[in-house]
Every structure is written in C-alpha cells, then in structure tokens.
Homo-oligomer: A and B are copies of this chain.
Amino acid sequence: MEDIDVQIMKLLLEDGRMSYTDVGKATGLSTSAAHQRVRRLEQRGLIKGYRAVVDVEALGLPLTAFVSVKPFDPAAPDDVPERLAGLSEIESCHSVAGDENYILKIRVATPADLEGLLARIRFAANVSTRTTIVLSTPFDGRTPDLPGSRPVGG
C-alpha cells in the first residue's frame, strides 16, 4: 500500500474541494482521521493552499511568454527577484543555471502590453531580456506522479 499522506495529497491535487468524508472513504479512514491528516499536512507546509484553476487566457490575458533575464552589471548585488516582485504580470521567477540568470513566465493581454512590460522589467532590475512567445499550450499544470511511500519531511 501507498503512504496515506501521499495518497491524500494526490486526491486533493486532483480535486481541491473534495470533502474530508470522501478523502476518508478513499483512504480507508474516518472523516476525523482524514481531516486531521489534512490539517497536519497544511501545518507542515506540504499543502500550501487551495486554488481554483482559472482559464486566464479566456479571461483577457491571451499572451503568454517566457522571458530570460541577465543583469547588465554582473558585479552588482543580485536583488532581481525583489525588484521584479511588484510586477503582477510576472507569474513565476526561477533562478537558473545557464546563459541567463532568471527565467520568468509572464502573461499579458496584447503585444503592446508585452512591450511595456519588458521595458519595465529592464528598468526595474537593470537587466537585458530575451523573450520567447508561447504559441499554444498542449498541456500545463499536470500533477506529477509523487514518489510513493516515505520521508514526507517528518
């Protein structure tokens, strides 16, 4: 059998609104025990929250792009993430090993908005940018096969 906590997280990954009763049924626990485990997972930070999955493309943000950034001045202290955090169009910011220092994923409404955002990124963080436009997204946000039983950080 599989580690129950991992099983619970898989269930909630697929349906974040599943009731504790149903989580219990699926794992062979009582409602209380299932609820208890979920709460412990939340407290330990393994479950960080719950989100609706919203179709942002249909909602006025059809343009997605990846933006690689590299500081103009490699000697300057690196506070790029802090400087970019205020730009709400930036969905994610990853520090990476490679030719560039960061990869951002951004969402905007129009090419003109993209142009403006890139200017704000360069200005805010003193970086050069390289932009890769997303044409379509065959799949996204898939939930990984979590490795089975074990550590769970306890």
Partner of A55, one of B46, B89, B142: B46
Given A45-B55, A48-B53, A147-B60 contact (CB < 8 Å): yes
Measured CA separation A89–B146 after assembly (Å): 9
Nearest CB on B from A104, distance (A): 10
Measured CA separation A74–B52 after assembly (Å): 38
Nearest CB on B from A112, distance (A): 14
Measured CA separation A51–B18 after assembly (Å): 10
How many identical chains are in the complex?
A: 2
Nearest CB on B from A129, distance (A): 13
Given A96-B66, A137-B94, A12-B60 contact (CB < 8 Å): no
Measured CA separation A55–B13 after assembly (Å): 11
Q: Which residue of B lies closest to A85 (CB)?
A: B139
Judge whether A75 is part of the interface by a CB distance below 8 angstroms.
no
Chain A residues close to B by CB (< 8 Å) = 6, 9, 12-17, 45-56, 58-61, 64, 66, 81, 85, 88-98, 103, 107, 109, 132-147, 150-153
